[in-house]
Amino acid sequence: MNHSSQRGLVLFAHGARAASWAAPFERLRDATQAQAPDAEVALAFLELMTPSLPDTVAAMVARGIDRVTVVPVFLGQGGHLLRDLPALCDGIRAAHPGLNLHVVGAIGEDPGVQRAMADYCVAALGD
Protein backbone atom coordinates (compact mmCIF):
# COMPACT_ATOMS: atom_id res chain seq x y z
CA MET A 1 0.00 0.00 0.00
CA ASN A 2 1.31 3.41 -0.97
CA HIS A 3 0.98 5.84 1.90
CA SER A 4 2.70 8.70 0.14
CA SER A 5 -0.50 10.67 -0.43
CA GLN A 6 -2.27 9.59 2.76
CA ARG A 7 -3.36 12.10 5.35
CA GLY A 8 -2.67 11.70 9.01
CA LEU A 9 -5.25 12.71 11.62
CA VAL A 10 -4.10 12.83 15.21
CA LEU A 11 -6.61 13.08 18.05
CA PHE A 12 -4.61 14.84 20.74
CA ALA A 13 -5.83 14.30 24.31
CA HIS A 14 -4.57 15.13 27.77
CA GLY A 15 -3.91 11.69 29.24
CA ALA A 16 -4.57 10.47 32.81
CA ARG A 17 -3.27 7.99 35.36
CA ALA A 18 -6.40 5.79 35.19
CA ALA A 19 -6.32 3.50 32.15
CA SER A 20 -10.15 3.67 32.05
CA TRP A 21 -9.87 7.33 31.12
CA ALA A 22 -8.74 6.51 27.59
CA ALA A 23 -11.79 4.42 26.64
CA PRO A 24 -13.96 7.18 25.11
CA PHE A 25 -10.95 8.52 23.22
CA GLU A 26 -10.29 5.06 21.78
CA ARG A 27 -13.93 4.80 20.71
CA LEU A 28 -13.67 8.24 19.13
CA ARG A 29 -10.55 7.20 17.24
CA ASP A 30 -12.24 4.03 15.99
CA ALA A 31 -15.40 5.87 14.91
CA THR A 32 -13.36 8.54 13.14
CA GLN A 33 -11.22 5.94 11.38
CA ALA A 34 -14.36 4.15 10.20
CA GLN A 35 -15.66 7.41 8.68
CA ALA A 36 -12.31 8.40 7.17
CA PRO A 37 -10.87 5.17 5.76
CA ASP A 38 -8.42 7.04 3.51
CA ALA A 39 -6.74 8.76 6.47
CA GLU A 40 -4.51 7.27 9.13
CA VAL A 41 -6.16 8.12 12.45
CA ALA A 42 -4.20 7.91 15.71
CA LEU A 43 -4.46 8.98 19.34
CA ALA A 44 -1.68 10.91 21.05
CA PHE A 45 -1.38 12.28 24.57
CA LEU A 46 0.10 15.32 26.26
CA GLU A 47 1.10 13.54 29.45
CA LEU A 48 0.63 10.43 31.62
CA MET A 49 -0.20 8.24 28.61
CA THR A 50 1.64 7.27 25.44
CA PRO A 51 2.28 7.75 22.58
CA SER A 52 3.23 11.41 22.64
CA LEU A 53 2.30 13.76 19.81
CA PRO A 54 5.90 14.03 18.50
CA ASP A 55 6.29 10.23 18.48
CA THR A 56 2.96 9.73 16.73
CA VAL A 57 3.74 12.26 14.02
CA ALA A 58 7.28 10.91 13.57
CA ALA A 59 5.85 7.43 12.97
CA MET A 60 3.45 8.82 10.38
CA VAL A 61 6.25 10.72 8.63
CA ALA A 62 8.35 7.54 8.60
CA ARG A 63 5.50 5.86 6.70
CA GLY A 64 5.52 8.60 4.07
CA ILE A 65 2.69 10.78 5.36
CA ASP A 66 3.41 14.45 4.70
CA ARG A 67 0.12 16.07 5.79
CA VAL A 68 -1.04 15.76 9.38
CA THR A 69 -4.06 17.38 11.00
CA VAL A 70 -4.20 17.60 14.79
CA VAL A 71 -7.58 17.74 16.55
CA PRO A 72 -7.29 18.84 20.19
CA VAL A 73 -9.73 16.58 22.04
CA PHE A 74 -10.08 19.07 24.86
CA LEU A 75 -13.24 20.79 26.07
CA GLY A 76 -11.68 24.19 26.78
CA GLN A 77 -8.67 26.13 25.59
CA GLY A 78 -6.40 26.51 28.59
CA GLY A 79 -2.63 26.49 28.97
CA HIS A 80 -2.34 23.05 27.36
CA LEU A 81 -3.70 24.33 24.06
CA LEU A 82 -2.49 27.93 24.32
CA ARG A 83 1.12 27.06 25.19
CA ASP A 84 1.96 23.33 25.36
CA LEU A 85 0.48 22.32 22.00
CA PRO A 86 2.05 25.21 20.00
CA ALA A 87 5.42 24.41 21.57
CA LEU A 88 5.05 20.74 20.62
CA CYS A 89 4.10 21.71 17.07
CA ASP A 90 7.11 24.03 16.77
CA GLY A 91 9.35 21.11 17.68
CA ILE A 92 7.59 18.78 15.25
CA ARG A 93 7.88 21.25 12.37
CA ALA A 94 11.59 21.72 13.14
CA ALA A 95 12.13 17.96 13.13
CA HIS A 96 10.17 17.39 9.90
CA PRO A 97 10.68 20.39 7.56
CA GLY A 98 8.69 18.82 4.70
CA LEU A 99 5.63 18.15 6.84
CA ASN A 100 2.38 20.07 6.47
CA LEU A 101 1.11 20.17 10.06
CA HIS A 102 -2.28 21.72 10.71
CA VAL A 103 -4.03 22.22 14.05
CA VAL A 104 -7.78 22.85 14.31
CA GLY A 105 -9.76 24.28 17.23
CA ALA A 106 -10.60 22.46 20.45
CA ILE A 107 -13.32 19.86 19.96
CA GLY A 108 -15.38 21.30 22.83
CA GLU A 109 -15.74 24.62 21.00
CA ASP A 110 -17.39 23.03 17.95
CA PRO A 111 -21.07 24.04 17.62
CA GLY A 112 -22.15 20.48 16.80
CA VAL A 113 -20.36 19.09 19.85
CA GLN A 114 -21.83 21.91 21.94
CA ARG A 115 -25.34 21.02 20.75
CA ALA A 116 -24.84 17.34 21.56
CA MET A 117 -23.49 18.21 25.01
CA ALA A 118 -26.45 20.50 25.74
CA ASP A 119 -28.83 17.71 24.67
CA TYR A 120 -27.10 15.35 27.10
CA CYS A 121 -27.36 17.87 29.94
CA VAL A 122 -31.06 18.43 29.33
CA ALA A 123 -31.69 14.68 29.10
CA ALA A 124 -29.90 14.20 32.43
CA LEU A 125 -32.79 16.01 34.15
CA GLY A 126 -35.03 13.10 33.20
CA ASP A 127 -32.75 10.45 34.69
Contact pick of 2, 4, 18, 97 for its own copies (by CB under 8 A) = 18
Is residue 29 a contact partner of residue 11, using CB atoms and an 8 Å limit?
yes
* List of E strands, 50-117: 67-72, 100-103
For the segment 21-50, give every residue that binds its own copies (CB under 8 A). Answer: 21-25, 27-28, 31-32, 35-36, 39, 41
Closer to its own copies by CB, 21 or 93: give it: 21
3-state secondary structure (DSSP) of residue 110? coil
Closer to its own copies by CB, 94 or 122: give it: 122
Q: Smallest Cα–Cα separation from 53: which of 62, 42, 67?
A: 42
Closer to its own copies by CB, 63 or 115: give it: 115
Q: Smallest Cα–Cα separation from 75: which of 4, 9, 14?
A: 14
d(CA 85, CA 81): 5
Q: Which residues here bind its own copies, judged by CB under 8 A?
A: 7, 9, 11, 13, 16-18, 20-25, 27-28, 31-32, 35-36, 39, 41, 69, 71, 73-79, 82, 102, 104, 106-110, 112-122, 124-125, 127
